Amino acid sequence: MRRFYTFIIFSSVVGILLSFISFDSTTSSKLLVGDKFPKTELLGDNKGNLVLVNFWAAYDAESRDENVQFSSIAEKYDEKTTEEGQRLRSMSVSMDRFEKVFEEVVKQDGLRFSKVSIETEGFHSKLAKDLKLNNRFGNFLIDNQGKIIAKDFTPEELKQMLDRYLN
């Protein structure tokens, strides 16, 4: 009987410890600074430019607020260029499911990105999976070679980076 209780206790401890380990490969694989941005339709003809990509949703107040701030920053830097003549291209990608909500928010917030689009499948979309968003909003700054030079930055950090890259 003692062996039985020892086995039960041992099994319980192992079970508890294993519950803290994630076996989902998507959570451990992330795009990192220095990685090549995956080929997606999102970038389209923006290759050769500095590209800001921001993911947000109307239902998430924090991501929506940051999106408005990024829009304002992008508008300010829109006419500036790098030494090589490259310009900033900015993209805002909504993860909202309903286009009407998305359209209203874009109007209300006065977004001034180069491109504003919606992924109605949200984090289940091919784009979200290709970019390994893992159910998180975020942003990327991509250089003219398609390499990620910054990720998950604040609006203030974006201003500092754009001051460095753009004249």
Which domains, and CATH codes, for the chain? Answer: 25-165 (3.40.30.10)
Q: Which residue has the higher pLDDT, 167 or 156?
A: 156
Q: What is the pLDDT of residues 52-101, one digit of tens each?
A: 999 999 999 999 999 999 999 999 998 888 777 788 999 999 999 999 99
CA distance 137 to 102: 16
Exposure letters 12-23 (e unless 16+ CB within 10 A, then b) = eeeeeeeeeeee
Q: What is the pLDDT of residues 105-119, one digit of tens each?
A: 999 999 999 999 999
CA distance 34 to 32: 6
Q: What is the pLDDT of residues 25-43, one digit of tens each?
A: 444 368 888 888 888 777 7
> Tell me, what's the pLDDT at 34?
80
CA distance 122 to 116: 15
> Tell me, what's the pLDDT at 27?
40
Pairing state of beta strands 50-56 and 88-94? Answer: parallel
Q: Write down the pTM of the prediction.
A: 0.78
